[in-house]
């Protein structure tokens, strides 16, 4: 149906403080692509928790999903088209950075190199894999907790 395309998170709720989503229970994502959407070689779903990234990967050809766990290393073939789905869980504010890359801020024509994401927000973008980098959360407290992972292009 019209209006249903996008990345949609599901999650447990925290009924004690009603603050943010529960990142210790059941959570995941539903990705609904429009009928004529571009094809991606790989898609990465990264959940931004209060102290770590949790990730999974979707192969664009086979649609096979692979769980990668905490602060995952993501790999891509050089010049492949990849899409990131960032979903903030918990209660922290995040500043996602992927050095060496710029992408179109969804809904605008602006090119950005950092995405500010608050609790229960999402940010979806695509890039052409051109060089290896290390993604991280530039928010100081999250960076000190080690929220980072490798993006390996080969």
pLDDT digits (tens, 9 = 90+) for 74-104: 999 999 999 999 999 878 899 999 999 999 9
pLDDT digits (tens, 9 = 90+) for 23-73: 566 777 888 888 888 899 999 999 998 889 999 999 999 999 998 889 999
Tell me the Ramachandran region of residue 101: left when phi exceeds 0, alpha when psi lies from -120 to 50, beta otherwise.
beta
pLDDT digits (tens, 9 = 90+) for 98-139: 999 999 998 899 999 999 999 889 999 999 999 999 999 999
Q: What are phi and psi of 3, to 5 degrees?
A: 90, 0
Interatomic CA distance for residues 141 and 108, integer angstroms: 29
- Looking at residue 33, its pLDDT comes to 84
E strand segments, the chain: 6-13, 21-32, 42-48, 53-59, 65-70, 74-76, 81-88, 94-97, 103-104, 111-112, 114-117, 122-128, 133-137, 148-153
β-bridge partners, 9: 29
Overall average pLDDT of the 9-23 stretch: 62
- Looking at residue 79, its pLDDT comes to 98
β-bridge partners, 62: none
Q: Which residues contact 108 (CB under 8 A, 6 or more apart)?
A: none
β-bridge partners, 90: 21
Q: Which residue has the higher pLDDT, 78 or 13?
A: 78
- Looking at residue 90, its pLDDT comes to 79
Answer yes or no: is pLDDT of 21 > 60. no
Interatomic CA distance for residues 154 and 39, integer angstroms: 20
Q: Which residues contact 100 (CB under 8 A, 6 or more apart)?
A: 130, 131, 133
Q: DSSP letters along 98-111, please?
A: -TT--EEPTTSS-E
């Amino acid at each position: 149906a019209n209006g249903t395309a996008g990345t949609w998170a599901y999650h447990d709720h925290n009924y004690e403080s009603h603050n943010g989503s529960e990142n210790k229970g059941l959570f995941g994502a539903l990705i609904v692509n429009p009928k004529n959407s571009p094809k991606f070689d790989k898609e990465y779903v990264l959940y931004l928790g209060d102290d770590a990234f949790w990730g999974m990967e979707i192969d664009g050809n086979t649609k096979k999903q692979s769980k990668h766990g905490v602060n995952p290393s993501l790999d891509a073939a050089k010049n492949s088209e990849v899409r990131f789905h960032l979903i903030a869980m918990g209660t922290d504010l995040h500043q996602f950075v992927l050095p060496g890359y710029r992408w179109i801020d969804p809904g605008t024509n602006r090119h950005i190199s950092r995405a500010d994401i608050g609790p229960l927000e999402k940010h979806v973008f695509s890039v052409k894999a051109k060089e290896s980098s290390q993604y991280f959360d530039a928010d100081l407290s999250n960076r000190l907790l080690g929220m980072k992972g490798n993006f390996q292009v080969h």
